[in-house]
Amino acid sequence: MRWRMIAAVVLLSLAGCDGAEPVTGATGSAAAASPSARSLPGAGMCHTGQSLGMFDYRAVTLNAVDCSAEHQAEIIRVGRLTTPPENKTREVFTDCDTAAREYVGADWHDGRLGLAVIVPSTEEWIAGDHEYRCALFEFSADDFTSRMRTGSLKDGLRGTRPLALTCVDVLGTPDGQGWYKTIDRLAPIDCAQPHNGEYTGLYVGADVPHPGMTKLAREVAQFCNTKAATFLGESPSKFEKRTDLRAFLTGGSPDRWALGDRTSHCYVLTRPDNRLTKSLKPTP
């Protein structure tokens, strides 16, 4: 029986709002903003002081810096809440998702990118802070934790696509039979460096209620097997019979799904002891 695995990525559980309106666009154009109880970076600015993950995210220490300096994330949009941020909602995430696609030039999921949303707490709302911020960051692994970097993320998936997700270093525990017992993280790496995994594409689920992890795992695993075969330029039936490569996927959190992010990343992996120094994709 074909071996498959699914990893539930730690994903954003956003305490949202019932309504939101843009304050600045993805390009950081200025617009009037309500007084804020906090001093936070505006759109087009980067920040240090707080590492990011795709979690329910409150700003604690955000020190605005120019994006040419070392930083942890880039603020790509600032919006204003029209109701207190008490309930989970799709609205803020949808706005941030749209802004991120415009900012980098393509679907940010195809890059080494994570998207976090900064919303005020109830206390901050009462104090006069009614703004949310969309923070885009480069992740250090497919568990979506931010890494320090210099330079803006803008246009990172246009032209030569410098932020595209390609090869990965698989960190896990071998099973003693030539494969993995567990996989802890997939760290992006240049394909010229030793690695044993490669991104093959993105699964996007239908806009329906979450089907449950078991059913979703079967559906996405089949998709990722087909995606791997296409990536390698061979038939799905041929790929199914291979013993040197296997498909792997991450994603599918019910919390993330509820926000409208129904994506999973598909990868093709080599054995732990078979590290490559070039892409698996056939050259034309």
The tokens of 210 are what?
């979450």
Distance CA 188, CA 50 (A): 22
Cα→Cα distances 90→13, 33, 104, 110, 128, Å: 11, 22, 21, 21, 23
Residues in CB range of 121: below 8 A, 6 or more apart:
58, 85
Residues in CB range of 281: below 8 A, 6 or more apart:
198, 231, 232, 233
What mean pLDDT is reported for the chain?
82
In the predicted model, is pLDDT for residue 202 greater than 80? yes
Average pLDDT of the residues in 40-53: 79
Helix, strand or coil for residue 165? coil
Average pLDDT of the residues in 141-169: 93
What was the pLDDT predicted at 12?
28
What was the pLDDT predicted at 125?
84
More confident position, 93 or 100? 100
What percent of the chain has a predicted confidence (pLDDT) above 90?
56
What was the pLDDT predicted at 11?
28
Band of pLDDT at residue 280, cut at 50, 70 and 90: very high
Tell if the pTM clears 0.85, that is, is over it. no
The tokens of 212 are what?
């449950």
Beta carbons of 267 and 199 less than 8 angstroms apart: yes
Name the E strands within 195-259. 197-204, 245-251
What was the pLDDT predicted at 21?
47
What was the pLDDT predicted at 59?
65
Band of pLDDT at residue 2, cut at 50, 70 and 90: very low
What percent of the chain has a predicted confidence (pLDDT) above 70?
81
Q: Which helix (H) or strand (E) holds 80?
A: strand 73-81
Cα→Cα distances 145→81, 154, 182, 198, Å: 26, 19, 19, 19
Distance CA 62, CA 75 (A): 11
The tokens of 32 are what?
């009037």
Band of pLDDT at residue 108, cut at 50, 70 and 90: very high
Average pLDDT of the residues in 36-56: 70
Beta carbons of 197 and 266 less than 8 angstroms apart: no
Q: Which helix (H) or strand (E) holds 117?
A: strand 113-118
What was the pLDDT predicted at 163?
97
What was the pLDDT predicted at 57?
61
What was the pLDDT predicted at 203?
97
In the predicted model, is pLDDT for residue 104 greater than 90? yes
